[in-house]
């Protein structure tokens, strides 16, 4: 599982300042995560880089927008992006995708659990697809519950 690049305190404010200007943002796009038909409210403060205790400049959200932002030297995959968000963890175990969110674990190894990663309404392998500017990413998780 990829660990988050943690930025904290006053130093993160200086780093994030560049992200707020259109001239400094490398890539951005839309994001939605839906679990059992319920969209996760990614506009909540706890997911926003300005408020989150553990966020990454490589892939993050801002309170001023409903988009994801990606900065840094290397692009991230769909799965890496999800894994870098606060309160989320995404990994592959024995070929099955596993999402941890807010204390709950969703694994494709469990009967009835399915995950679908979509970019611009096309299914992608989240561990292989590298995000590009303007991508609309949707992660749908459904269970028997």
17-56 pLDDT per residue, tens:
445 444 444 799 999 999 999 999 999 988 888 877 766 7
On whether the CB atoms of residues 68 and 29 are closer than 8 A, the answer is yes
Q: Where are the alpha helices (DSSP H) in 20-122?
A: 78-84
Overall fold of domain 9-142: Ferric Hydroxamate Uptake Protein; Chain A, domain 1 (2.170.130)
Nearby residues of 79 by Cβ (< 8 Å), 6 or more positions away: 90, 91, 92, 97, 117, 126, 127
Where do the structural domains in the chain lie, given as residue ranges? 9-142
pTM: 0.80
Nearby residues of 142 by Cβ (< 8 Å), 6 or more positions away: 36, 37, 113, 114
61-99 pLDDT per residue, tens:
888 788 999 987 788 999 999 999 999 999 999 999 999
Return the SS3 of 86: coil
């Amino acid at each position: 599982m990829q660990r988050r690049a943690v930025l904290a305190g006053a130093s993160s404010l200086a780093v994030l300042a560049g992200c707020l200007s259109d001239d400094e943002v490398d890539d951005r796009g839309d994001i939605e995560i839906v679990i059992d038909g319920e969209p996760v409210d990614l506009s909540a403060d706890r997911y926003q880089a300005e408020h989150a205790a553990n966020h990454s400049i490589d892939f993050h959200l801002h309170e001023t927008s409903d988009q994801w932002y990606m900065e840094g030297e290397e692009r991230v995959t769909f799965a890496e992006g999800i894994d870098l968000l606060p309160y989320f963890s995404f990994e592959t175990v024995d070929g099955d995708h596993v999402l941890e969110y807010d204390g709950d674990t969703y694994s494709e190894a469990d009967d009835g659990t399915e995950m679908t990663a979509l970019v611009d309404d096309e299914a992608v392998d989240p561990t292989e697809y590298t995000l590009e500017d303007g991508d609309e990413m949707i992660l749908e998780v459904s269970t028997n519950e």
